[in-house]
Amino acid sequence: MFNKVLAAGAVLACAFGSVQAEPVKIGFITTLSTPAGYIGQDLRDGFLLAVQQGQGKLGGVPVELVIEDDGLKPANAKQAADRLVQSGVRLYTGVNFSNVLAAVVPSITKAGHTYVSAQAGPSMFAGARCDRNYFVASYQNDFYHSSAGIAANELGFKRMVVLAPNYQAGRDAIAGFKSTYQGEVLAEIYTKLDQSDFSVEMARVRALAPDGIFQFHPGGAGINFAKQYGNSGLNKTTPMLMPGFSMDARMIEATGDAAEGFYTTGIWSIALDNPQSKQFVADFRQAYGRTPTDYAMQAYDTAQWIGSALRRVNGDLGDMKAFQAALREVDFVSLRGKFALNNNQHPIQDMYLMRLVKNDQGALEPQVVRKIIADGKDAYASQCKLP
């Protein structure tokens, strides 16, 4: 195992063996503390796995990862971004929350540098405010959740309650779900981002008696929500549908059997049947002793994508337009299978419906039910004027 724990603001030199004079520095701003810290840890570790497999290089180019813990505070993240920009770092990734990303991206793109998102994909940067210096390796928030609306239709849920935290990604989640859901939304319930007690929300769901609920709560809030849903008995009467990162591998471990039978939608599952994904799951487990989450997968893909572009420009970020043109070539093999880039520099990709069931060892894991979106594109791309 390697780099299991890194302090805030740590600088990790990831160049082993032969080292060029100036390795490419990559600013990695993420959430490593707070109850949501495991998300940033998985993003970091997924990225680092690719670097370690490359002997300290991405695309054959030595890299140096400059890691900053934003503490889930936009102001902290902006200060870190401004400091790194002033120090000469020209390439960035790592932010996991949309409200934090909104504070970071303008500092980077206005300086003419490049940000490649491994996680957050808020609507504000996908349409009219798209930017040639901003790329997304994961998904656009609304599009990701539109798959849940399609799944709810196919599952026959005619009346639903939807719940999400009251911040950008939460609002995007509900907007995305509603954009494709054809039934009746009985209530939209917005929670606090750091909420831990959902008893009031549980009581309201019980009173409304929907066919099912759609909920988006990442990290620690999602663990508490699922546990309380199970303890309330609602998991026996009211099916739950959610994005994959509202019940990832770490959350499944924390919630136990309470999540059995829940439905998730997403771009990837550890059960996805392709050789590169299976190898990644095995390698991640060997390196870290745990099952990778979607966050780790997305960060690994981000590292491979960045590496493919660095290879094309021989590690020279002096001509940023050439590096960005190399990114647009999308010359890497994604763990999720198909991956293409839309005009707004967000992915075109497939989406799957999964169900949490017990495997042969008795552990819950998301099993693919079926593909529900093929070559999906977000709705904001038409507003983007990038050539």
Domain with CATH 3.40.50.2300 in the chain: 24-140+273-349, 142-268+350-376
* Residue-by-residue DSSP string for 168-207: HHHHHHHHHHHHH--SEEEEEEEE-TT----HHHHHHHHH
Question: Does an H or E element contain 291, and which?
Answer: none
**CB-hemisphere CA count at 13 Å for 274?**
12
Strand partners, 91: 26, 114
For residue 284, give every residue at least 6 positions away whose Cβ sits within 8 Å of its Cβ, in sequence order, or none.
45, 46, 49, 290, 291, 292, 296, 300
Q: What is the pTM of this model?
A: 0.89
Residue 218 predicted with pLDDT over 70: yes
Give the gyration radius of the chain's Cα atoms: 20
pLDDT for position 144? 92
Specify the pairing of strand 159-165 against strand 24-30: unpaired
Q: Round to whole Å and give the CA distance between 286 and 52.
A: 13
- Chain segment 67-116, per-residue pLDDT in tens: 999 999 999 999 999 999 999 999 999 999 999 999 999 999 999 999 99
How confident is residue 259, by pLDDT bands cut at 50, 70 and 90? confident
Cα 175 to Cα 355: distance, rounded to the nearest angstrom: 23
* 329-343 per-position pLDDT tens digit: 999 999 999 999 999
Q: Provide long-range contacts, Cβ within 8 A and 24+ apart, for 282-291.
A: 283/49, 283/53, 284/45, 284/46, 284/49, 287/1, 287/2, 287/45, 287/49, 287/52, 288/1, 288/4, 288/45, 289/1, 290/249, 290/250, 291/249, 291/365
**164: β partners:** 190
Region 185-203: what's the mean pLDDT? 95
DSSP string, 300-338: HHHHHHHHHHHHHTTT--SSHHHHHHHHHT--S-BTTB-
pLDDT value at 19 more than 50: no
Instruction: Please name which of 223, 254, 284 lies closest in space to residue 43, comparing C-alpha atoms.
Output: 284
Residue 355 has pLDDT above 70, yes or no: yes
- The arithmetic mean of pLDDT across residues 123-132, rounded, is 96
Tell me which of 3.40.640.10, 3.80.10.10, 3.40.50.2300, 3.30.70.580 is the CATH number of domain 142-268+350-376.
Answer: 3.40.50.2300
pLDDT at 21 over 60: no
Q: How confident is the model at residue 348 (pLDDT cuts 50, 70, 90)?
A: very high
Q: What superfamily in CATH does domain 24-140+273-349 come from?
A: Response regulator (3.40.50.2300)
